[in-house]
Amino acid sequence: MRILLSSVMVDDQARALAFYTEKLGFVKKQDIDMGEARWLTLVSPEDSSGVELLLEPTGHPASKVFQKALFDDGIPLTAFAVTNVQAEYERLLALDVEFSTEPTDVGSTIVAVFNDACGNWIQIYQI
């Protein structure tokens, strides 16, 4: 068993695509019209055949409630690995990305948390 796809809920797929590609640097892999939404996946530019991230629209009422509850409580929906949290933090700040948590040493790694502008807090952690 392997993980080949993971989802992140977004309240606007077009805005999410712009944020995740233009600011975070992911690359669009699949973009299939599904009627009211799109099957829209991204990959890391470092591994184009790796795990795909699905920008999943919050069309189901339960997903909106879940997403809002996590956001209101400051809980990251997911986490992305980076080699240098401080450098990534500074790069994203320069792109006007909002952070709730600056780079913080938590013992086993360094983390920071930012707003993806699509309804989620996202954590980055240093590998």
CATH number at residue 50: 3.10.180.10
Two structure tokens written together for 22: 């233009």
Q: What is the pTM of this model?
A: 0.95
Dihedral over Cα of 48, 21, 89, 101: its sign? negative
Which pLDDT does position 40 carry in this prediction? 98
User: What pLDDT is recorded for position 25?
Assistant: 98
Tally of domains within the chain: 1
Looking at residue 17, its pLDDT comes to 98
The pLDDT, as a whole number, for residue 91 is 98
* pLDDT tens, residue order, the chain (127 aa): 999 999 999 999 999 999 999 999 999 999 999 999 999 999 999 999 999 999 999 999 999 999 999 999 999 999 999 999 999 999 999 999 999 999 999 999 999 999 999 999 999 999 9
d(CA 111, CA 49) in angstroms, rounded, equals 26
**Contact partners, residue 38, CB within 8 Å, separation at least 6:** 13, 31, 32, 55
pLDDT of residue 73: 98
Say what the pLDDT of residue 12 is: 96
pLDDT at 6: 97
Print the domain residue range for 43: 5-126
